[in-house]
Amino acid sequence: MADIAQESLDLHRAHKGKLEVASKVPVKDRAALSRVYTPGVGAVSTAIGEDKTRVWEYTMKGNMVAVVTDGSAILGLGNLGPEAALPVMEGKAVLFKELAGVDAFPLCLATQDPDEIVAAVKAIAPVFGGINLEDIAAPKCFDIEKRLQDALDIPVVHDDQHGTAMVVLAAFLNALKVKGAEAGAVRVVMNGAGAAGVAVAKMLLAAGVADLTICDSKGVIHAGREGLTDAKRELAARTNPRGITGTLADAVKGADVFVGVSVAGALSGDMVRTMRTDPIVFALANPTPEIMPDEAAAAGALIVATGRSDFPNQINNALGFPGIFRGALDHRVRRITDDMLTQAARNLAAVVETPDVEHIMPDIFDPKVVPAVADAIC
């Protein structure tokens, strides 16, 4: 990790970041200039002025996504502000382009106030075909996303929620396939009820999971617990069918599947040993997972997945967002629904023809990934 960190610092300094804005049309003489700029461009502006929908045909809008953050929840690093978020957002834009041909531009906002974030995104929306919200802290992220979805005629996706949930569901489906189990018959315990946790829970429920119990830093979420946020209260009503209370250790006893979207070290080998035979462990905290893969395997886990590229079974958002927006732009989708994302997860899972314990997810660079996901967003 130390080497990668230094190499990453060196790369960013050498290139002054990672993104550039380039012309798709060479402009080397006055003839080209008169078509790209004045006077010719006046005809294009006039055409769009007469019919605004032509902006999709004649401008960059139809292939351009804004990657918007307030820097309040950067990776696992916390609230470091907009400047510190920029390298992550540039990286995300690089992946949009390299993996899916989507042009993406990072906007790191100088405000963390929800009303001001909503106002800023509404203001800049005309030049974009979609909005990818990123690394905005829970619970404000839920409200910001909903208000923007209601206000704008382009898709708005908080990727930490829905991109993560789609990719986790794909991994879950293939893990069950390897295990030979059905979604409705397994006990699932999830640790973490932030932006990702809430969305993953909803996707698992939509996919037919009947016995899902969710924990946060205060223990098991149940309807009788005091001080739940709105999002957690809603989840409490739809989960924990056996009325479990207590800690994560209480919840995982007898569970078939653990999904961690929480913090390093949250799951111990002893806790895995209390799960049912051949458990599935998704330890997705970054960069250090809830449990290291070797420890989980030693405790009897059949399948272990993490967010990391240096272990098997990497569950990474990069398997999701490029295809999600490729599909949304290609099909001019105004709102990305849970049904679309569930189908995208099924398509993504199906990219792996014969999943096994070390191969439940396709490689990020597998050229079948983006088309499979994009096909479902329509």
Judged by CB under 8 A, the chain residues 96 through 135 that form the site for a second copy are: 97-98, 103-111, 116-117, 119-120, 122-127
Candidates 72, 73, 93, 189: give the one binding a second copy (CB under 8 A): 93
Residue 37 annotated in active site: yes
CB 283 within 8 A of CB 304: yes
- Indicate whether 297 belongs to the interface with a second copy (CB under 8 A): no
- Write down the least CB distance from residue 73 to a second copy, Å: 12
- Write down the least CB distance from residue 352 to a second copy, Å: 17
* Residue with token string 């130390």: 2
Cα 62 from Cα 49, distance rounded (Å): 17
DSSP state of 318: G
Element (H, E) at 190: strand 187-191
Pairing label, strands 64-69, 187-191: unpaired
Residues 6+ apart with CB under 8 A from 277: 300
Candidates 72, 73, 92, 313: give the one binding a second copy (CB under 8 A): 92
CB 128 within 8 A of CB 61: yes
Cα 286 from Cα 284, distance rounded (Å): 6
Catalytic hit among 16, 18, 28, 37: 37
The 341-370 site mask, x for binding a second copy (CB under 8 A), equals -----------------------xx-----
Given the rule CB under 8 A, which of 90-98, 166-174, 227-235, 369-377 is the region that contacts a second copy? 90-98
Residue 202 annotated in active site: no
- Indicate whether 137 belongs to the interface with a second copy (CB under 8 A): no
Residue whose CB is less far from a second copy, 24 or 354: 24
- A 10 A CB-CB count for 265 gives 15
The 310-339 site mask, x for binding a second copy (CB under 8 A), equals ------x-x---------------------
Binders of a second copy among residues 39 to 58 (CB under 8 A) are 39-49, 52, 55, 57-58
Residue whose CB is less far from a second copy, 160 or 256: 160
The two tokens of residue 91 are 């990286």
Residue whose CB is less far from a second copy, 73 or 376: 73
Residue whose CB is less far from a second copy, 6 or 337: 6
Binders of a second copy among residues 164 to 203 (CB under 8 A) are none
The 4-33 site mask, x for binding a second copy (CB under 8 A), equals xxxxxx-xxx-xxxxxxxxxxxxxxxx--x
Which is nearest to 335 in space by CA: 181, 146, 74? 146
One-letter amino acid for residue 360 of the chain: I
Strand partners, 281: 258, 304
CB 255 within 8 A of CB 236: no
Cα 366 from Cα 316, distance rounded (Å): 13
Catalytic hit among 92, 179, 202, 232: 92
Binders of a second copy among residues 209 to 268 (CB under 8 A) are none
Which is nearest to 126 in space by CA: 154, 145, 101? 154
- Indicate whether 282 belongs to the interface with a second copy (CB under 8 A): no
Give the active site residues: 37, 92
